[in-house]
Amino acid sequence: MTAPLIVICGPTATGKSDLALEVAEKYNGEIVNADSMQLYKGMDIGTAKLTIAERKGIPHHLLDILTVDQDASVAQYQRLARAAVDEIRSRGKAAIIVGGTGLYIKSIIDEMNFPETDPELRKSLEEEAELLGTAALYSRLQLQDPEAAGAIEPANTRRIIRALEVIAVTGQPYSANLPSDTSLKYPEAIHIGLAMERSSLSPRIQARVHRMWESGLVAEVEQLISQGLLQGSTAQRAIGYAQVVAMQKGEISEAQAIEETIVATRQYVRRQETWFKRDARIQWIGEGQPRLAFIDERLNS
């Protein structure tokens, strides 16, 4: 029998990491990270990355593979993640993909091809972003491809530029270059989503952000700035990190940074929900449902 491949996805703060550990312990598995910001070394507190002790000896793949001055690439991630999944399963162990970055999960499971880049067009769009601001480019993307705009953070200049570039190069919406759910690299994968009512999730987000500050997020960001955080275009935009950077520059107060992080996290959760709810393969576990029993049933059916 082929070793299981289990995807555990869903919005931030729903308990994905804890469930992944339980599943890995029960099914002799190893975990493959699908959180785009947990790829970065030193970005621990703000990404809620499990500590070595919290990992309970279970191997975790694709954590801490980039420095903060490097930019993450979905194509690079796809190559590394698929290699990790195949290697884990070749040893007869379950591979458990866990995270909230929907595009990264899709890049592993589905047959995704990445359109070529156009350096001149990319440079032109980058100059427009500098001149007109990210919001102007995001508005253009909303007009050209509302579906793609709904899945991209309005402040994520790099992804907005890439989406507009793909639209111009291919003559199709960016979302049209994403695969359908029937174009699969791993059709045997079991997709599990963790759902939580807003009334329950909202206070969890608020508590999580305050805990990040209490655990030393500001000091973590200061350390990362000395390691080149401001030289990369991806890591410095991460939720929590961007707000601390703005605070350090004197643009906002610490109280504002905390509140803006809470608001940004809630907005990100809504985008995650929109992304994952489009995928009919995901079987959702609601609040109060026994999670391991639910997965047992799916694996044994």
User: In three state form, how does the secondary structure of 3-18 look?
Assistant: CCEEEEECCCCCCHHH
pLDDT at 125: 94
Contacts of 117 (CB under 8 A, 6+ apart): 165, 169
Taking each helix axis from N to C end, the angle separating 254-277 and 102-109, rounded to the nearest 10 degrees, works out to 30
Q: How many CB atoms lie under 10 A from the CB of residue 39? A: 24
Give phi and psi for 81, each to the nearest 5.
-70, -40
Query: Which residues in the chain show pLDDT less than 50?
Result: none
Which pair of tokens denotes residue 300? 């044994």
Amino acid type, 278: R
pLDDT at 183: 59
Kind plus residue range of the DSSP H or E element containing 25: helix 16-26
pLDDT at 182: 53
Whether residue 38 contacts residue 55, with contact meaning beta carbons closer than 8 Å, is answered with: no
pLDDT at 177: 66
pLDDT at 179: 55
Which pair of tokens denotes residue 6? 């289990």
Kind plus residue range of the DSSP H or E element containing 190: strand 190-194
Which pair of tokens denotes residue 54? 């919290």
Residue with tokens 């480019």, as numbered in its chain: 137
Whether residue 274 contacts residue 10, with contact meaning beta carbons closer than 8 Å, is answered with: no
Q: DSSP alpha helices (H): ranges in 91-176?
A: 102-109, 119-132, 134-144, 146-151, 157-170
pLDDT at 153: 82
pLDDT at 73: 85
Q: What is the pTM of this model?
A: 0.83
Kind plus residue range of the DSSP H or E element containing 41: none
Residue with tokens 């070394």, as numbered in its chain: 41
Judging by DSSP bridges, how do beta strands 190-194 and 283-285 pair with one another?
parallel
C-alpha closest to that of 37 among 231, 242, 226, 202: 242
Whether residue 165 contacts residue 122, with contact meaning beta carbons closer than 8 Å, is answered with: yes
